[in-house]
Amino acid sequence: MKNESNYAIKYEAYIYRGASIGKIDTAIGAGGFNGKTALEIIQSEGLKPESGRIAKNATVHVTCGYGGKIAIRYYMIGLHTDYTDELRNFQVLDVVKFIQPYPEEIEIIINKNKKEQEEKERLREEKKERLEYSRRVYAELMDAKTSAAEREAEREAKERKEAEDIRRKCSSLSKFMCSAADTPKKRCPYCGEWYCNYHYDVNNNRVGTGGHVCGK
In a domain, 119, yes or no: no
pLDDT at 177: 86
In a domain, 27, yes or no: yes
Q: Which of 106, 126, 148 is the last residue of a domain?
A: 106
Are 174 and 79 within one domain?
Answer: no
Say if residues 12 and 68 touch (Cβ distance below 8 Å).
no
Helix, strand, or coil here: 136? Answer: helix
The C-alpha angle 144, 145, 146, rounded to 5 degrees, equals: 90
Count of the separate structural domains present in the chain: 2
Are 93 and 188 within one domain?
Answer: no
Are 98 and 7 within one domain?
Answer: yes
Q: Is the pTM of this model over 0.75?
A: no
Which residues on neighbouring strands pair with residue 2, listed in sequence order?
Answer: 59, 97
Mean pLDDT of the chain: 84
Helix, strand, or coil here: 71? Answer: strand
Are 94 and 186 within one domain?
Answer: no
90 has a pLDDT exceeding 70: yes
Q: Which of 77, 106, 135 is the last residue of a domain?
A: 106
Task: Using alpha carbons, select from 119, 123, 74 the residue that is nearest to residue 101.
Answer: 74
Task: Using alpha carbons, select from 206, 200, 202 the residue that is nearest to residue 214.
Answer: 202
Are 6 and 93 within one domain?
Answer: yes
Mean pLDDT for the stretch of residues 51-79: 84
pLDDT at 63: 77
Mean pLDDT for the stretch of residues 28-44: 71
pLDDT tens digits, 113-137: 999 999 999 999 999 999 999 999 9
In a domain, 138, yes or no: no
4 has a pLDDT exceeding 80: yes
pLDDT tens digits, 200-214: 988 876 666 788 888
32 has a pLDDT exceeding 70: no
Please name the helix (run of DSSP H) or strand (run of DSSP E) that holds residue 107, with its range, or none: helix 103-167
C-alpha–C-alpha distance, residues 124 and 41, integer Å: 34
| Long-range contacts, stretch 193-202, CB < 8 angstroms, 24+ apart | 194/165, 194/168, 194/169, 194/170, 195/170, 195/171, 196/170, 196/172, 198/172, 199/170, 199/171, 199/172, 199/174
Q: Which of 88, 106, 124 is the last residue of a domain?
A: 106
Helix, strand, or coil here: 51? Answer: strand
Domain of residue 60 covers 2-106
In a domain, 151, yes or no: no
